[in-house]
Amino acid sequence: MTIGGQAVGYCRVSTDKQSGSDHYSLALQSEILKKMAVQHQTVLAAVFTDIASGSKKHRNGLSQLELAIEQSNVRFLFVYRLNRLARNLKLLLGIFELCQKNNVRIFSFMEPEITNTASGQLQLSMFGAVSQFERSLTLENQANALAEKKRQGDVISWQVPHGYIYRKKHAVVDPETAPVVHR
């Protein structure tokens, strides 16, 4: 159990779609962080949030978190998962270094505490590398799926050019507006 000092939390989802009521929602992550603060007998002073990719360094919530760590009496950082902080190994290591420099301990709900030891550094590097790999794999799968849809002639966007309408994954000539286009 941890006693003393204040805590901050950080929650992130990648898209607006995910910010709703699914199991990774910002609201659920925030509730878990509040429970973590109670468990550690500390005050959760603020919860910073972002709806952005974990591979991006420039996020408003992350910038506010970093500022709070540098300028406040923060002793603990609570996250649902380490990959909520970053899905980029270099960025995750930078956040951990900032926390170390300011004597802030990171607690993750889903992973063990990362300590300032050789084993802790290895653990952090492994979690970060896996997160970065998962992100790269997701991007690769998305690119492959889009290429296959394009190969099959499917419309990739719901927006079709003027003179066409969207029907069953395909752009078909709109008999009402197509004559205007062909003039």
Catalytic residue set: 14
Helix (H), strand (E) at residue 137? helix 118-151
How far are the Cα atoms of 108, 114, 155, 174 from residue 123, in angstroms, in the given order?
13, 7, 43, 57
Determine the Cα–Cα distance for residues 180 and 183; give it in Å rounded to an integer: 6
Sign of the dihedral through C-alpha 8, 9, 15, 17:
negative
Q: What's the DSSP call for residue 168?
A: T
Cβ atoms of residues 169 and 146 within 8 Å: no
Q: Helices 60-71 and 89-101: crossing angle, nearest 10°?
A: 20
| CB neighbour burial string for 79-113, b if at least 16 within 10 angstroms, e if fewer | bbbbbbbbbbbebbeebbeebeebebbbbbbebee
